[in-house]
Chain A
Amino acid sequence: MAFNPTPTQFKALKAVLFMLALLPFLRMAWLTAAGVPVDPVEFLTHGSGDWALYLLCATLAVTPLRRLTGWNWLVRLRRMVGLFTFFYAFMHFMTFLWFDHFFDVAAMWKDVLKRPFITVGFAAFVLLIPLAATSTNGMIKRLGRNWARLHKVIYAIAPLAILHYWWMKAGKHNFEQPIVWGSIVGVLLLLRVWWSLSRPRTEKRVTTASVRS
């Protein structure tokens, strides 16, 4: 299973991944511009929300995949996947603020405060902002060890995102998808709990260092 891409291979891999992650956005933009979706607001809201969740899971899958395969280079793709997660979450939020509320910030706040499912979704989005903002090399250097601490916030964001999705579907008793994605997030987080309980302390520091690489 030992696979180590050459720098050229890695570059190509990264470019392909970038295009793949951008594809859903291009598709949504294209279809909306062409007037295909019957309800474009619903189409963009659901599409961007779904892809934010899928990419959040992909981001969380990097560490387990790395441990299981020994492909340490995977971690160098994580920032991009994480930023795409934020990109789709931002699109999700903007659809809500722009096309659903037409920048009526008062009405938006009313929704955020009054409706728990929006409250948790909004919280998940707000928590993503500092992670996206500290994704540059400069910020990683400046924050040092605190960078890794800060980015553990993702462990709170993921359950909030699932709860948001769950409550959104709850009114229509349509739990198939929330169960699937909730289980995926659950497994990805439980693996970390398991590993953190079963490995000695010294190893942890090594991992923290490599996270920053």
Chain B
Amino acid sequence: MLIRKNPNGIDLPFPSEITPREVYEGRRAFLAKVAASAVVGSSLWEMATREAFAQGTVQKLPATRNPAFSTNEKQTSFDDATHYNNFYEFGTDKADPAANAHTLKTRPWTVQIEGEVKKPQTIDLDRLVKLAPLEERIYRLRCVEGWSMVIPWVGYSLSSLIRQVEPTSNAKYIEFTSLADRSQMPGVKSRVLEWPYVEGLRMDEAMHPLTLLTVGMYGQVLPNQNGAPVRIVVPWKYGFKSAKSIVKIRFLREQPRTAWNGIAPDEYGFYSNVNPNVDHPRWSQATERRIGEGGLFTPKRKTLLFNGYNEVASLYTGMDLKKLY
């Protein structure tokens, strides 16, 4: 009963690794009870899982810190990082995601992988989480709006997933599609963006070890408002490049039309590398406010090229980053 098979025939062990013992044991007792009453439907497992999530239990994620990809800078408080962010599917105000994202159902969840790839498939979340060992990486996050945070993410290099699905030599770009479900996401009714939210990377950017397939933060499962259950984090690019709540990954020959770039190409480039020398048309990008660092009277920090991740510079040799911003 605890082992299910998905359409691809891959065994899915019970996700006890990402669930606290008492929760899954409680669920087991619950399942046993219902099973005893001989009403075992296929939705039962999901129901039970949802129950555990609805209780708001903190779901710990086992991860080993990777110091090679971490910073010692002071981390943003969990409260600020989860109550001040943009996730337009839940509203345009930065307090909206935390207020509205509880309606998002993150189980069951699958990610469809298609396009220029030898092994197109639909991956179940539990399998996705186990595809590679989870690492904790403390990254700087720079929002295009001029603020920044330091967040300990949990995940593994996106390249681990990409290698397993074997993109063909035609795959030059990768495109991420976020969930856009009106019934769970009140912001999708608005017309501020074309839904679903789409973001993309060039293949070499996606393969860079820094690009993180992310399933957690602060040692626990991603809160809904931060892009649960699976998102991308690309720390040398402005935050909006890091797609949240991903349901589809496509490998493409051509550069995809991404959400912000499509709607306001003069303001949001496809690359959107953090760059203090390229202003946003409506504000300077030379400095940033580190959230939670001091207060009103604390001077802003100087923004660093590639958000300080100089190891990615070689990806852009020969490119005019003022034109290809």
Chain A residues with CB under 8 Å of chain B are 32, 35, 38-42, 44, 99, 102, 107, 110-111, 114-115, 117-118, 167-168, 171-174, 176
Contact = CB atoms under 8 A, between A and B. Distances in A.
Contacts of B296: 32, 40-41, 44, 99
Given A171-B267, A173-B263, A174-B192, A38 B289 contact: no
A173 B295 contact: no
26 contacts: A32-B295, A32-B296, A38-B84, A38-B292, A39-B147, A39-B289, A40-B295, A41-B289, A42-B147, A99-B296, A102-B299, A102-B300, A107-B284, A115-B282, A117-B282, A167-B282, A171-B264, A171-B267, A171-B280, A172-B92, A172-B192, A173-B192, A173-B263, A174-B92, A174-B192, A176-B190
B80 A38 contact: yes
Interface residues of B, number: 27
B291 A173 contact: no
A169 B94 CA distance: 14
A148 to B, nearest CB: 36
Contacts of A117: 282
A111 B282 CA distance: 8
A7 to B, nearest CB: 42
Interface of B: 80, 83-84, 92, 94, 147, 190-193, 263-264, 267, 279-284, 289, 291-292, 295-297, 299-300
Contacts of B147: 39, 42
Contact of A35 (B191, B193, B295, B299): B295
Contacts of A111: 283-284
From DSSP, what is the main secondary structure of chain B's interface residues?
loop
A173 B282 contact: no
Contacts of B292: 38
A45 to B, nearest CB: 11
A102 B147 CA distance: 16
Contacts of B282: 115, 117-118, 167-168, 171
A115 B281 contact: yes
A39 B84 contact: yes
Contact of A39 (B193, B291, B297): B291
Question: Which 5 residue pairs are nearest across A and B when measured between Cβ atoms?
Answer: A38-B84, A173-B192, A171-B267, A38-B80, A40-B296
Contacts of B83: 38
A35 B299 CA distance: 17
Nearest to A110: B284
Given A99-B297, A171-B280, 4 more contacts: A39-B147, A99-B296, A102-B299, A114-B279
Contacts of A118: 282
Contacts of B283: 111, 115
Contacts of A171: 264, 267, 280-282
A171 B264 CA distance: 7
Among A39, A99, A114, the one with the most B-chain Cβ atoms within 10 Å of its Cβ is A39
A35 B79 CA distance: 13
Nearest to B297: A99
Contacts of B190: 176
B193 A38 contact: no
A114 B286 CA distance: 15
Nearest to B279: A114
Nearest to A35: B295
A44 B297 CA distance: 13
A179 to B, nearest CB: 12
Nearest to B95: A38
A39 to B, nearest CB: 6
Contacts of B297: 99
A173 B193 contact: yes
A125 to B, nearest CB: 17
A143 B58 CA distance: 68
Nearest to B190: A176
A42 B281 CA distance: 18
Among B190, B280, B296, B300, the one with the most A-chain Cβ atoms within 10 Å of its Cβ is B296
A87 to B, nearest CB: 19
A118 B193 CA distance: 24
A118 B281 CA distance: 11
